[in-house]
Amino acid sequence: MSEKIIANGRVTVGGKVVTDPARDVSEVDDVRVDGSPVGVEATEVWAVNKPAGVVSTAKEPGERPAVVELVDSGARLYPVGRLDADSTGLLLLTNDGALANRLTHPRYGVAKTYLARLGKPPTDRDLSRLRDGVDLEDGRTGPAQVDRVGRQEIEIVLREGRNRQVRRMVEAIGNRVVSLRRIRFGSLALGRLAKGGARRLDEKEIARLWKDAEP
């Protein structure tokens, strides 16, 4: 929609018509649509405890609910990374593209912590293989921190963000994930946030996330 508005010559920057949707603007530029000034949307970051069955998208064309529907905000929020529909736990939503890029870019290796219940008890060798890295169809995984926290439960910390990575790693050692919950993203813990609940992060929490993603 915004690209069509720009292409129709309805947008001006500094009094000049702009037809290039990739044109950079700053907070001090006078941006107008049909002559009316456009304000800069304040940035927001939210933590959500995603239930199973909810998809990690801004919009869902099917019948399943989208995670943005759990947040009471008028901002145009997008998920920071993904959790597959069957997984639960901590997911961040924001309209700050720069922060989202930092938190998900492989260069910065922001840690994400998961609790996984497996189909059968893993052996010590299984855990060692997960720690050292396993071969997947898209390449070998990097080193991971893996701890046994129950007979069939492990805690795993990844600094990569591949699609369904924990599930595929566990399958590579001949096991399967029965349930998967993300409990921490960088310095931010899920804590006691209720399932399906959401809360807006304060400035200190956001500053810590930026620090998590320092080069």
All residue ranges of the chain with pLDDT < 50 are: 1
Fold of 45-106+191-212: Alpha-Beta Plaits (3.30.70)
Task: Enumerate the CATH 3.30.70.1560 domain ranges in the chain, comma separated.
Answer: 112-185
Helices (H), 138-189: 165-172
CB neighbours of 122 closer than 8 A, spacing ≥ 6?
130, 148, 152, 154, 173, 175
pLDDT at 189: 98
CATH code for the domain defined by 2-37: 3.10.290.10
pLDDT at 2: 56
Chain-centroid distance of CA 130 in Å reads 23
Residues marked as catalytic: 84
pLDDT at 159: 96
pLDDT at 187: 97
Shortest CA distance to 169 belongs to which of 113, 130, 201, 142?
A: 130
Fold of 112-185: Alpha-Beta Plaits (3.30.70)
The DSSP code for 155 is: E
pTM over 0.95: no
Q: What sign does the CA torsion over 143, 206, 31, 72 have?
A: positive
pLDDT at 39: 59
